[in-house]
Amino acid sequence: MNNTKCNIFSIPNMLSLLRLSLAPVLLSFAVAGKADAFLQILAISLVTDVLDGYLARRLDQTSEFGARLDSCGDLFTYASMILGIYWLWPEVFNAQARYLLAAALSFTLPVALALSKLGEYPSYHTLAAKAAALLFAPAYYLLILGGDDRFFRIVIFFHVLVALEEIAITLILRHPRSDVRSVFSLRGEVFPPREP
């Protein structure tokens, strides 16, 4: 994590803010029944999700604030995606209700535990979470546009595994931390080095 002073108006942070601002737009299109507009704006939102982390690292503009902003953007985007299915494609929602509930819990339970234990919103950005986020977009579009739920269900199962890892990270950590590569990178937290 970059220790320099956080520039709130950095390009990655502006992309995360854009994603946050697109969440109510997505919901308004969903409520209005505008499926095409919803999917188009969602595609823009998902592209900003990929770009903000990449640019933060590439431009050396990583910060605790940016990591938390990105995580909040993820939460609001995923919530909009689930609510979008509920309002725009109720038959898909009903057929996938168990998997959508698992998705919702995999996003909310790790957050609730981290807020309870550490007093802060988690922004671990594990390698598995990054992979799951990249897979969620194509799985979502395949489900909605192609009617193929197999890949979607596999990705939801992967998200559940990611949530279990994030819960384990929270249980291990004594203090809030961002950008944890994996639970295995916390060996020093579990087994602190012996003092001579």
pLDDT at 75 over 70: yes
Hey, is 8 helix, strand or coil? Answer: coil
Q: Where are the domains of the chain?
A: 11-182
In CATH terms, is domain 11-182 a member of 1.20.120? yes
The lowest-confidence range among 16-20, 29-33, 136-140, 187-191 is 187-191
pLDDT at 195 over 80: no
Mean pLDDT of 174-188: 90
pTM of the model: 0.86
Distances (CA, A) of 51 to 47, 107, 126: 6, 21, 16
Q: Which pLDDT belongs to residue 192?
A: 59
